[in-house]
Structure 1
Amino acid sequence: MDIPRILRSAIQQRMFPGAVVGTVDSKGVERIYCCGKSQYIEGEPLTACSIFDAASLTKVLPTSVLALMAIDQQACSLTTPVHTILPRFTGPHSRGVTVQHLLTHTVPYEIPLSKLKNRSAEEIFNTIVTTGFSRSPGRDYAYCNATSIVLGRVVEALWGQPLDVLGQTRLFSPLGMKDTTLHTPRSMGRVVPTEVDTWRGRVIRGEVHDESAWVLQDLLTPGSAGLFTTAPDILRFLQVLLHAPQQLFSEAMCDLIVQNYGEPLGKSIGLGFERNQPRYMGSYVSPGTVGKTGFTGCHFVADRTKGKGLVLLSNSTYPRRKYDARRIDRVRRAVTDSFFLKRFLL
């Protein structure tokens, strides 16, 4: 297996200072690969215990997973209109938005939240829930942080608790994910920095990297970003998803998750997860494979057919974020291909 060589090559090309990869095979055997340091200069060597800002992995874990669990327990359905759960969700075409639209990112948001980062948390959230849309939902795939922020509020309304509490009590603690949190980690010495941020004027370490999510934390727990975790903890989640999904979902829900909800749009879209995305899942996973990426340089892949899963955690945004995702996607794809079938040269 070429994973260590791929990681070393990526470090030499300055795609990230270091990375940790975790894999679980069809027999449940786990392996961890650590390479590089937390920073290019004077950084600590990365270990299995290194804690990363997992960015948009938050959209799945805990946000989508908690929503799917709520549906499983009949707290709502996929066709439940969002405005019946969140009365504040108003504006043109908003009444047609359902929970399924949130889970499949087919809500036609056109809000660039990055341009709202200098506003207050209340102003940002009010914009998200009251602006409305120029067209009806379900007609296009429109990936947007705002969608997951709304889903997070839906989850809170359905369960009657804050998202961070729900994540901890219903997912992280029960699954033994002892280093996973939606707060600043307690073990700051193990936290990997994400960026030298000119907007905040400091090195970002132990606080959410995404600017709008960082501002929103004054008001709520964003469902879009803010997850801090380790490779072993994500492997615990993958072990359950692959080999004991009944701990989280009914059999019917497991089948729903891997269906293609984007077929009418000519796309591959899972329920609460990304589905069949060769740009980072590579060429050798099975149809219906699910996963997620994070802007900081993270991703996970879960192939239920093969019973195999993988997580890569890195800080590719350090010391400065890179706007061309194709570079880190090459690494993601190479690592995933190496594990799922054969050697793959970076």
Structure 2
Amino acid sequence: MALAAGTTSGPLAEESFGWAVRYTAYDERADRGVELPRERWAPVRRDTLFDLASLTKLCTTIVALRAVERGLITLDGRVAAYAPECTAAAEHGITVRHLLTHTSGLIPELPLYEEDGVERRLARLAAEPPVTPPGTARRYSDLNFLLLQRVLERTAGRGLDRLVQETVTGPLGMADTRFNPPASWLPRIAATEDQRRPWGKVDRGMLRGVVHDENAWALGGVAGHAGIFSTAGDLAVLCRALLAGGGRMLSPESTELMLTAPGLGFEVDQPWFMGELAGGGAAGHTGFTGTSLVVDRARGVYLVLLATTVHPRRRSGDSGPRAAAGTALARAVG
């Protein structure tokens, strides 16, 4: 695990614990990991990169708000006005705001990886109708951010990976944050899962340096909902920019809108993973692989926790450690 906590002015704590790589496989019969030789275990270091999973949504959100500032889209603009191929969104009047607030009515996910080829995967996404009327209920869905990716790429004429670099990582100097990390980065990347059925959705073996999420992988590693790799230090830079009102990414007005309840892309005041940081408008997110980020503007602090709880295989989630860390930070700063 890597931990980073601090304020707008700088770090309060930056620590690393445990192992980034320990297992070569998962033994289903014995229900335990198959360990590598001890000399091949890799410790978590301050420069270790983790698969962020759904923390990717935060970068996609920032790109979307920047597109609003530039006049490329509007929050209440219809998805189909920007990406006409999204036929179900057109039929049901889904807007950009619906996507960012998870109120589109779409189901949580689709097995796009089952389709043959990227074009068929995107076509299935585009044709998926909501199960409740848009704007009437909140249902967290990866599909929202896959559709948002289509909107952003269509209106900007560039891929999401480039948009994230132009809007977030480039301006903030986050040199260790990107989709599809190059092979030269592999020694610094934490392993994730021995991904196999029945616990996984596809059979890919032990994953390291390639995205864990099956749909993001099936779409080439660049997706609106998952796919970014980063370090705790780089995410601390992002948090400090958010605490400062947007830094070089967004205007203070856009940052305020994004981080204020009900939030756009960010979740607000969620004690199940924020602990006692929740309650005063703290905003953040979690990722399936074991990642989380919280920005508490009321106290002027942030907390980043990066882990690989899916190594060597996924288990039922436990956010107790996340909440405990949030509570410890809240009590430390008063």
TM over 0.5: yes
User: Hey, what does 2:193 align to over in structure 1?
Assistant: 195
* Corresponding position: 1:66 with 2:63: yes
Q: How many corresponding residue pairs?
A: 310
| Residue 160 of structure 1: how far off its partner (Å) | 1.7
User: Structure 2 residue aligned with 1:314, among 296, 307, 319?
Assistant: 307
1:5 maps to which residue? none
**Rounded Cα–Cα distance in structure 2 between residues aligned with 1:213 and 1:341:** 38
The separation in 2 between residues aligned to 1:106 and 1:334, in whole angstroms, is 30
Q: Secondary structure at the match of 2:306?
A: strand
Contact 2:260/2:281 (CA < 8 Å) preserved in 1?
Answer: yes
Give, as a single letter, the amino acid of the residue that structure 1 aligns with 2:321. V
2:327 to 334, 337, 342: 337
In structure 1, the partner of 2:27 is: none
The residue number in structure 2 matching 1:169 is 166
Mind listing any 5+ residue stretches in structure 2 that lack a counterpart? 23-34, 197-201
* Cα distance in 2, alignment partners of residues 181 and 249 from structure 1: 19
**Greater Cα offset, 184-193 or 295-304:** 184-193
Cα separation, 1, equivalents of 2:241 and 2:332 = 25
Larger deviation, residues 86-95 vs 136-145: 86-95
3-state secondary structure, aligned to 2:212: coil
Of 17, 42, 50, which aligns to 1:35? 17
Which position in structure 1 is the counterpart of 2:199?
A: none
Could you say what secondary structure the match of 1:194 adopts?
strand
Distance 1:305 1:69 in 2: 24
SS at match of 2:77: coil
SS of match in other structure, 2:328:
helix
- In structure 2, how many angstroms separate the alpha carbons of the residues matched to 1:167 and 1:130? 26
Shift of 1:338: 1.0
Relative distance call for 1:52 and 1:92 in structure 2 (3 A) is closer
1:286 CA displacement: 4.6
Amino acid aligned to 2:113: K
Whether contact under 8 Å (1:93, 1:135) holds in the other structure is: no
Cα gap change, 1:111/1:33 in structure 2, threshold over 3 Å: closer, same or farther?
closer
* The one of 208, 218, 230 aligned to 1:215: 218
Cα distance change, pair 94–22 in 1 and its aligned pair in 2 (3 A): farther
SS in 2 for 1:153: helix
Deviation at 1:86, TM superposition (A): 0.5
**Residue type at the aligned position of 2:223:** P
Which secondary structure state, in structure 1, belongs to the residue aligned with residue 148 of structure 2?
helix
More strand by share: 2
Contact 1:301-1:309 at 8 Å conserved across structures: yes
Q: Distance in 1 between matches of 2:44 and 2:86?
A: 43
Matches within 5 A, 1:84-233: 84-91=81-88, 94-110=91-107, 112-113=109-110, 115-120=111-116, 121-185=118-182, 186-198=184-196, 199-217=202-220, 221-233=222-234
1:294 aligns with one of 287, 290, 305:
287
Alpha-carbon contact 1:70-1:155 (below 8 Å) kept: yes
Question: Structure 1 206/21 Cα, relative in aligned 2: closer, same or farther at 3 Å?
Answer: same
Deviations 1:290-337 (A, max 9, x none): 101000000000011211101000000010101x22x2x001111111
Deviation (angstroms), 1:92:
7.3
CA distance in 2, matches of 1:311, 1:111: 25
Q: Which amino acid aligns with 1:338?
A: A
Pick 1 or 2: higher relative contact order, CA cutoff 8 A, min separation 6.
1
Distance 1:111 1:290, change over 3 A: closer
Shift, 1:136, TM fit: 1.7
* 1:246 Cα deviation from its structure 2 partner: 4.2
Moved more, 136-145 or 251-260: 251-260
The 3-state SS of whatever aligns with 2:179 is: coil
Q: Is the 8 A contact 1:26 1:306 kept in 2?
A: no
Identity %, equivalent residues:
33
Gaps of 5+ in 1: 1-18, 261-268
Structure 2 residue corresponding to 1:80, chosen from 39, 58, 77: 77
SS of the aligned residue for 1:97 comes to coil
Q: Deviations over 1:223-266 (max 9, x none)?
A: 11100000000011011111252422223212212332xxxxxx
CA contact (8 A) 1:20 1:33 kept: yes
RMSD: 1.9
TM-score (normalizing by structure 2): 0.87
| SS of 1:177 mapped into structure 2 | coil
> 1:283 deviation in Å?
1.9
Deviation at 1:93, TM superposition (A): 6.9
What's the TM-score, normalizing by structure 1?
0.85
Match of 1:23? 5
- Residue 16 (structure 1) aligns with: none
Displacement of 1:88 in angstroms is 0.8
- How far apart, in 1, do the equivalents of 2:321 and 2:89 lie? 41
The Cα of 1:342 is off from its aligned counterpart by 4.6
Classify 1:238/1:94 alpha carbon distance in 2 versus 1 (closer, same or farther; 3 Å): farther
Aligned-partner Cα distance in 2 for 1:273–1:174: 21
CA distance in 1: counterparts of 2:74 and 2:131, whole angstroms: 25
